[in-house]
Structure 1
Amino acid sequence: MTAPTGPAVPGRRVAVVGGGISGLATAALLAADGWSVDLLEQRDEVGGRAGSWEKDGFRFDTGPSWYLMPEVFDHFFRLLGTSATEQLDLTLLDPGYRVFFEAHDEPLDVRTAREANLATFEAVEPGAGAALAAYLESASDAYRMAVDHFLYTSFESPRSLLHPEVVRRAPTLLGLLGRSLEKHVAARFADPRLRQVLGYPAVFLGSSPARTPSMYHLMSSMDLADGVLYPQGGFTRLIEAIADLARARGVRIHTGATVTSIDTTPPAAGRGRRGRARRARVCGVAWLDAAGSEHRLPADVVVGAADLHHLETELLPRDLQTYPESWWRRRDPGPGAVLVYLGVEGELPQLEHHSMFFTSDWGKNFGDVLGRPGRVPDPASSYVCRPSASDPTVAPAGSENLFILVPVPADTGLGKGGVDGQGDPAVEKVADAAIAQVAAWAGVPDLAERVVVRRTVGPGDFAADLNAWSGGMLGPGHTLRQSAFLRARNASRKVEGLLYAGSSTIPGIGLPMCLISAELVLKRLRGDRSTGPTAEPPRETEPETAQEPLLEATGGAA
C-alpha cells in the first residue's frame, strides 16, 4: 500500500528507509519541520519489531511490551503539538511486575509506590530498604545526567563532553563507566533475589549485568521509583498514533516497498567547506514494490531507520560503507530470542501483567546466551507478559493472552518459529520448556493443555523479517564499547546526506531510545548541537521549520 503522493519540495526531500517506530517518528518530526518525506517499509504493515498478530480473537503485540521513560514519549508527542495523554490511554500497573525465582517458592512483587518497594527489600534483607533508597537516589541522579548531557546528542562536537557539570562529575561518571552493573549491585545487596531484580535491566540493554556499565543502574529509577505504564490497545496503538501523526503532516508511507540500494552521486572535484575532502552525496533510493517492479525515489537526505548492518553492508557499495563487515565482526550483537504467543482458555491470576522467571545460576544463563559460540540455556530465565490482565481487547472473554520471551544466542542457525508447533525443532523445544517452566513455577499445572493458539518466533525470523544482524532481538548490546559516543554514530562518514536512526545507532536500544534517535536526526539537520531535548513548540502553534542550509547541516558527520 502506498499513501497518496503530494508535491515534493526541491532541496528538502527525505526518504526514510524502514517503518518501525524510529522511522515513523523521524518521518513525522521532519515533515512537521517542513521537509517533504516518503517512508518506505518492506513489510505490508508499519511497526517493525513493534508489530501485531491476530488469530481466533487473540491479538498479540509481537515485540516491545514495556512502557518506561514516559517523559520521553510525552516530549516526542509535544514536539508534534499533541501529548501522550491525548494520543494514548495509559494505565499504571500495580504491581509493576512479579518475579519468580527458581530456588524460592514465593514470588516478589515490585509495586508502583517507591516506599512499598523499600519495604519489600527490607523484608528480604535487613538494611536493604535504606540501601535501595540510596541506590534509587543515585539512579535518579545518573538518569538526569544522561538526559541532560548524553542521550539527546549526536556527539558531533567534543564540547558536548566538556560541559562544566560533566567535567565536575567526571570522577563519579568514570567510576560508573569503569565498574560493571553486577559489581555495583553486589557491593550494596547480599540476597541473590534483590541482586537479580536490580540486575535484570541489563537484558533491556541487550547485555548482561557483568558486561553492562554500572552507569545503567539509572534504569532502576524507572520501574522501582516511577512505575510501569501500559497503553490500552497495546503497543500497536502507539504505532498507529505515530503513523497517524506522520500522515497528518504529509508523510507518504509506502508499504510493501523493499529498498534495494541507496543511490549516490560521486564527490565533486576539489575541497569542501573548511577544507574537507568532498564526499559522495545521496540522491535517492531504489526500491521494489510488492509486484517486483523497480522504482527510484529522488531524495536530498536519506534516513536509514532499518537495521544498520543491513543498510551499510547491503545497500551501499564497499567503498562507501562507514561500518563494513569487518567492523561488525568486532561487535556484540546482543541476545537473540525465542518468542511464544499463546492464547489460553481460562484465567491465569497467578501471573501479573509482567512476570519474570529467574534461574539460580544467573551467570551461566547469561554466559550461555552471550558467549561465543553461544548455546541455549537449560534451564533458561524468561519473561512473560499477560496483557489481558489489563486490557480486555487482546483476548476473548474468559481467556488469556500470553507473550513469552526466552533470551537465546543471536544465532540464525537456531531457525524460525511457526504456528501450532510447526517451527524449527530447536525453537519449538525452547518454547515447550518455557511453557513447562511457567506451569511449574507459577502453579498452573494444566497450562499446556489450555493453549488454543500458539505461534513461535526464532532468530531466523528476526533476520528474515527485520534484516536483524545475526538474528538479534534488540540491536547491538550496550557494552562499554557500544554505549554513548562509542556506539555507531547517526551519520555516514562516507556519504553526505545519509543519516541513521533506530536501535543500531545512538542513543541505543528500546522504544524511548528510538524516539530520541529520531529527534537526533532532526537536530542534526537543523545544525543543533545542544545536548538536551529540543525546545517544544507552544501548543497553540505548529512547530517552526528548520532554516539551516542542507549542506551545512549534513556535511559535518561525526
Structure 2
Amino acid sequence: MSAASPGPRRIVVVGGGIAGLSTAALLAEEGHAVTVIEARDETGGRAGSWERDGFRFDTGPSWYLMPEVFDHFFALLGTTAAAELDLVPLTPAYRVYGEPAGSGPGEHIDVVSGRAEATALFESREPGAGERLEDYLDSAADAYDLSVSRFLYDTYATTEGLRDPEILGRLPQLAPLLTRSLVRHVESRFSDPMLRQILGYPAVFLGSSPYDVPSLYHLMSHLDLDDAVYYPRGGFTEVIAAIERLAVARGVEVRTGTAVSQILTGADGTANGVRLADTSELSADVVVSTADLHHTETVLLPPDQQSYPERWWRKRTPSFGALLLLLGVDGELPQLAHHTLLFTSGWRENFDAISGRDAHIPDPASLYVCRPSATDDTVAPEGSENLFVLVPIPADPALGRGGVDGEGDAVIEAAADRAIAQIAEWTGIPDLADRVRVRRTIAPGDFERDLGAWRGNALGLAHTLRQSALFRPGNASKRVPGLYYAGGSVLPGIGLPMCLISAELVVKRLRGDTTAGPLPEPAATA
C-alpha cells in the first residue's frame, strides 16, 4: 500500500463490468476491503456472453488492442497477460470489403499488421501512398506514445501534467491535431477511397465519426497497422473471468443479481454506502460507481448532489448506438476473416444517417462482422460458424429492442434482415440467411434497459474534442466526497483498455497521486 494512503477502507464498487472488476482488483491489491455490486446475474457488463445450441457469443468488445495497457494492468497485480490469457495474433488483422459496383461480391483486401506489410498495401493501391503512410504512422506512433505517457493516465486533478514543459513545447504540433477532423487529416494525404476508409473507420471504435473526432486520434492506426491485433482464445469473456479471478483471490466479494437504488451520504455529505433494491443498506468509507455515468448521476444521486445533472447531458454527445446480431451459421464461411469490415461508397451519407439531424438506420450500412470461429474452435459446434455483427445506428432507444429468433421489435428485425442480406451479397455468400440456425438481436432499447446506457448508446460518451482528455468527466464527484467513477463515460474514455486505465485513475485519486503517467509496476519476482 502506498505511504500516501490513509489505510485500509471499506469500498463498495457499483457495477461488475470490466471497469468495476478491475477497479476492485486494484483496490484490493492496495489492501482495501472491496465489495462489487452487480445488478445482472452475470458479471461483464457490455463485455457479456450468451450461449445457445453449442454457440457461445461475446456480446460486446471483440478487438484486443493496446496490449501494453493490459500488460501493465496485470503487472500491477503481480502477473502477466500471457499467464492469464491465451492470446492469438491475427493474420490478417482484418479484411475489408467495398460496396459492389454491380452484381456479385465487392472488392476486398486483407490488412496485415506490420509497417512493411501496411506500406506495401498502400503503395499497391496508390503510387506514393506507401511513403506517405510511413510518415502518417510515425506521427500516429508519436501521438500514441505521448497519449499513454502524458494524457491517458492523468486524473487532471491538477494542471500539473498540462504545464509540463515537454507538453507546452509540443503545442505547435498538437494544436492542428486537435482542431482538424480525422477525415480532413486523412483525405489531405491519401486519395484511394478504401485506404481513406481504413484510416478513418477507427473513429467508430471511439463512438463517433471520422468527421467529428479530432485528428489526434489518427494514433489509432498505430494499433492495427504498426502494432498487432490479438484475440483471447475463449473470447472476451475470458478477459472478464481473468480479472474477476484476480479480484476474488485478493478478497473481493462479488454480488450479482443485486441492484443499487441509491448512493448514500452522511450528515457531512460524504459517500458512506449504498441502498440496494431490496431496501437493505451496505455501509462503506468509499463508493466507486462504474455504472453508466448518466444513470449514476441522475438516478442514484439526488439533484443537489449531482455533478452532471440532466441539463449538462443535454449538451453532450453519446457514442453511436448499435444493432448487434449474434448468428450461429451452419457450414464454413471462408469469405470472412476473423474481423471483416464492409464499407459503403456513401461514406459521408452513412455517418450523417447515424448522427445527423434526420437520424435513421443506414441502408446499406458500413458494418463490422466478427467470426471468432475462424480462430477459436470453442465458440461454435464443429462444422459451424459463430458471427457477431455490429451495425452502427443512432443512439435512440425508441428504435426498439432486439430478441431471439426474430422476436425483437419489427424495425430492429427488419434492419437485421437487411444486414444479413448485405453481408451475403457483398462477400459472396448467397445462401447465408438460409444457413442461420441461431439468431439474436440486441438494440439501443436493450442497452438502455439492461445497462442503463444513456440514450441507449453502445459505448459511452463519444470522443469529440470537448469530451476528451481534461474535457471529459473526471473520476471523482465534484459534489460528494468519497464518491469516485470509472468506466467508458469518464476519463480516459471508451474501450476495454481505457476502462483498465480508469480503474487505475481511481487508485491514483485515493493515493493522492497527481502524476501524468502510469503507476510504477512492482518489481518482478524470480
TM-score range, shorter chain: over 0.9
- Return structure 1 stretches of 4+ with deviation > 4 angstroms: none
Query: Which residue number corresponds to residue 241 of structure 1?
Result: 242
| Aligned ranges 1:161-310 → 2 under 5 Å | 161-267=162-268, 280-288=269-277, 293-310=278-295
CA displacement at 1:11 relative to structure 2? 6.2
- Residue 332 of structure 1: how far off its partner (Å): 0.3
Cα separation, 1, equivalents of 2:517 and 2:109: 37
Q: Which residue of 2 aligns with 1:518?
A: 503
Shift of 1:540: 2.8
2:17 pairs with 16, 20, 23, which one? 20
1:30 counterpart SS class = helix
Task: For residue 352 of structure 2, give the secondary structure of its aligned residue in structure 1.
Answer: helix
Q: Which residue of 2 aligns with 1:446?
A: 431
- Of stretches 163-172 and 318-327 in structure 1, the one that deviates more from structure 2 is 163-172
Equivalent AA in structure 2 for residue 284 of structure 1: G
Q: What amino acid maps onto 1:283 in structure 2?
A: N
Report the counterpart of residue 3 of structure 2 in structure 1. Answer: none
Q: Distance in 2 between matches of 1:373 and 1:317?
A: 34
Moved more, 99-108 or 24-33: 99-108
**Where do residues 66-465 of structure 1 align in structure 2 (5 Å cutoff)?**
66-103=63-100, 105-267=106-268, 280-288=269-277, 293-465=278-450
Q: Is the 8 A contact 2:119 2:130 kept in 1?
A: yes
| 2: CA distance, partners of 1:438 / 1:74 | 35
The code of the aligned residue for 2:430 comes to P
Paired residue for 1:491?
476
Give the SS at the match of 2:280: strand
1:370 CA displacement: 1.2
Once residues 525 and 226 of structure 2 are traced to their aligned partners in structure 1, the CA distance between those partners, rounded to angstroms, is 33
The answer to whether the 8 Å contact 1:386/1:400 transfers is: yes
Is 1:47 aligned to 2:44, yes or no? yes
Q: Which amino acid aligns with 1:357?
A: L
- Partners of 1:470 and 1:442 lie apart in 2 by 33
Q: Post-superposition shift, 1:539? A: 2.7
Are 1:507 and 1:517, in contact at CA under 8 Å, matched by a contact in 2? yes
User: What SS does the corresponding residue of 1:160 show, helix, strand or coil?
Assistant: coil
> What SS class does the counterpart of residue 455 from structure 1 fall into?
strand
Tell me, in whole angstroms, the C-alpha distance in 2 between the residues paired with 1:174 and 1:498: 34
Structure 1, unpaired ranges of 5+:
1-8, 268-279, 542-558
Code of the aligned partner of 1:344: V
| 1:168 counterpart letter in structure 2 | G
Secondary structure in structure 2 of the residue aligned to 1:306:
coil
Conserved in 2, the CA contact under 8 Å of 1:352 and 1:386? Answer: yes
Offset at 1:192? 1.1
- Alignment partner, residue 272 of structure 1: none
1 CA distance for matches of 2:57 and 2:419? 18
User: Does the 8 Å CA contact 1:11/1:300 hold for their aligned counterparts?
Assistant: no
Map of 1:459-478 to 2, 5 A cutoff?
A: 459-478=444-463
> SS of the residue aligned with 2:270?
strand
Deviations 1:305-340 (A, max 9, x none): 010000000000001000000000000012101100
Deviation, 1:266, is: 3.1
C-alpha distance in 1, partners of 2:489/2:42?
Answer: 21
What percent of counterpart residues are identical?
61
Tell me, what secondary structure is at the counterpart of 1:316?
coil
> For the residues of structure 2 that align with 1:240 and 1:59, how far apart are their CA atoms?
15
CA contact (8 A) 2:8 2:31 kept: no
What's the TM-score, normalizing by structure 2? 0.97
CA distance in 2, matches of 1:367, 1:259: 37
Name whichever of 368-377 and 337-346 sits farther off. Answer: 368-377
The whole-number CA distance in structure 2 between the counterparts of 1:494 and 1:117 is 49
CA shift digits 1:331-380 (9 cap, x unpaired) = 00121011000000000000000000010111111111112452111111
SS of the residue corresponding to residue 272 of structure 2 reads: strand
Q: Show CA shifts across 1:188-242 (max 9, x none).
A: 0011111100000100001101100000000100000111000000000000000
1:250, distance to aligned residue in structure 2 (A): 0.4
